[in-house]
Structure 1
Amino acid sequence: MTGVPASAAGGQGRPRPHAAAPAGATAVTARQAGLWNIANVLTMIRLLLVPGFVLLILQDGGYDPLWRALAWAAFAVAMITDLFDGYLARRYDLVTDFGKIADPIADKAIMGAALICLSALGDLPWWVTGVILLRELGITLLRFWVIRHGVIPASRGGKLKTLAQGTAVGLYVLVLTGPLATLRFWMMAVAVALTVLTGLDYVRQAVLLRRAGLARERRGAAGAPTGGAER
């Protein structure tokens, strides 16, 4: 035993104990990106709100103003969590495989449940529900169609569409009369128009993205060496 502290050994001998510190930092990052983080919890809350919303809006035949107000509160909370969970996941590096799958499912589940319930109660024409749901399903399939060529980014129009849909559907959930009922009609008209226009824009982006991807593949195939080339 030399009596010389390990920290003063001049780098000779065994590695110093504190050299393992980066592993600890990695462990912290892994915990932050675990399943039980704030972003995923908000997504789970939104999923749980879907059956709760349906039960509330359909209570007493679906036309009681108090139950409809409570259903609106559940819908509003779901929309608010939708605004924050994605932001928190990106801001604090909390993106997980669960979040990637559950977040879009939760978004479409609460909106689809609200639209179907409103149409079933006779408050909203079925064609409106059909246009919105078919657009959402179509865009999802479109993303899978071009996924090997790239990702279609969310546009400002798409975000505006989501805001318009949420506002319009929320107004329809409430029992409104007079000018407010007229307001929600025009708000829904704007939401439907944005739904169609942004859907067509996504189709355009998907076609362009696929063409560019196929062109890159053809260029890569043309530039690849032939199997008979000498080494």
Structure 2
Amino acid sequence: MTPEPVQPVDGLAEPAAVIPLVNIANLLTVTRLVLVPVFLLALFAEGGESSTWQLIAFTVFALASITDHVDGRLARKFGLVTDFGKIADPIADKALVGAALVGLSLLGELPWWVTVVIAVRELGVTLLRFWVIRYGVIPASRGGKAKTLAQIVAIGLFLLPLPAAFDPLCWAVMAVALVLTVVTGLDYVYRAVRLRATARRALPGTG
């Protein structure tokens, strides 16, 4: 006999659907992490002086950057948001951008102060997230998304074996990325402090 479907008991909520840890969004995030060492190998191949390997490094970086957009979109569209994804996604983003910046600085293609400014901002924002996590989550702003896009485009230009005539363009885009990096970092500090202060005022006995 075919078993009858189990009917929910009146007054009891149906159990929430369990989101599988292994899903397309998380797989893309893990793929981005795996591509980081592949990217570095291509970047430093033949001392970083081979145009062919530079193009390969750019291609790997571009593919990894695309997964950053796709995995988040898929997670939201199909309800695949998991705790693992919330933690691994920003780690993968910072690992990719950080590896590219450090790699370019080691090769002498990018001044170290640029790498330090961006790294300090990203580390500071990460620490702020932990500082206010008990009070809430600060959503990504449009400025933050623009910052990420500007960083990726700027890094991509520095990765390409472009003629010296393109240097002004590369630096113009990097300047935009740096300005957005600093401005959005300060904005995040302001929003974190405001969130913490608002949440603490709402707690009993702290108003």
Same fold (TM over 0.5): yes
Aligned residue identity for 1:215: R
Contact preservation (8 Å) 2:200, 2:206? no
Provide the aligned C-alpha RMSD in A.
2.2
* Max Rg structure: 1
Q: What is the CA distance between 1:97 and its match in structure 2?
A: 2.2
- Of the three residues 196, 201, 225, the one matched with 2:187 is 201
Which position in structure 1 is the counterpart of 2:169?
183
Which position in structure 1 is the counterpart of 2:38?
52
Q: What is the CA distance between 1:179 and its match in structure 2?
A: 3.3
Aligned residue identity for 2:195: L
Matched, 1:146 2:136: no
Q: What is the CA distance between 1:182 and its match in structure 2?
A: 1.6
Matched, 1:107 2:93: yes
Map of 1:28-43 to 2, 5 A cutoff? 29-30=17-18, 33-43=19-29
Total equivalences in the alignment: 202
Q: Normalised by the size of structure 2, how large is the TM-score?
A: 0.91
- CA pair 66-211 structure 1, distance change in 2 beyond 3 A: same
Paired with 2:15 and 2:46, the residues of 1 have a C-alpha distance of 51
Matched, 1:131 2:117: yes
Which position in structure 1 is the counterpart of 2:142?
156
- CA pair 165-49 structure 1, distance change in 2 beyond 3 A: same
Question: Which secondary structure state, in structure 2, belongs to the residue aligned with residue 19 of structure 1?
Answer: coil
Paired with 1:199 and 1:193, the residues of 2 have a C-alpha distance of 10
Paired with 1:163 and 1:222, the residues of 2 have a C-alpha distance of 40
Deviations 1:60-108 (A, max 9, x none): 0111111000000000001100001011111111112221221111101
Aligned residue identity for 1:135: R
Q: What is the CA distance between 1:18 and its match in structure 2?
A: 2.9
Paired with 1:67 and 1:222, the residues of 2 have a C-alpha distance of 59
Q: What is the CA distance between 1:40 and its match in structure 2?
A: 0.8
Aligned residue identity for 2:128: L
Q: What is the CA distance between 1:162 and its match in structure 2?
A: 0.2
Deviations 1:154-209 (A, max 9, x none): 10000000000000001111111233222111100110010000000001111111
Q: What is the CA distance between 1:53 and its match in structure 2?
A: 0.2
Which position in structure 2 is the counterpart of 1:13?
none
- CA pair 42-21 structure 1, distance change in 2 beyond 3 A: farther
Structure 2: state its 5+ residue gaps.
9-13
Question: Which secondary structure state, in structure 2, belongs to the residue aligned with residue 196 of structure 1?
Answer: helix
Deviations 1:30-75 (A, max 9, x none): 3xx2122110111111011000000000000111111000000000
Which position in structure 1 is the counterpart of 2:205?
221
Aligned residue identity for 1:188: M
Contact preservation (8 Å) 2:35, 2:60? yes
Q: Normalised by the size of structure 1, how large is the TM-score?
A: 0.82
- Of the three residues 97, 101, 106, the one matched with 2:83 is 97
Q: What is the CA distance between 1:221 and its match in structure 2?
A: 2.2
Q: What is the CA distance between 1:128 and its match in structure 2?
A: 0.4
Aligned residue identity for 2:205: A
Question: Which secondary structure state, in structure 1, belongs to the residue aligned with residue 205 of structure 2?
Answer: helix
Question: Which secondary structure state, in structure 2, belongs to the residue aligned with residue 221 of structure 1?
Answer: coil
Q: What is the CA distance between 1:28 and its match in structure 2?
A: 11
Which position in structure 2 is the counterpart of 1:117?
103
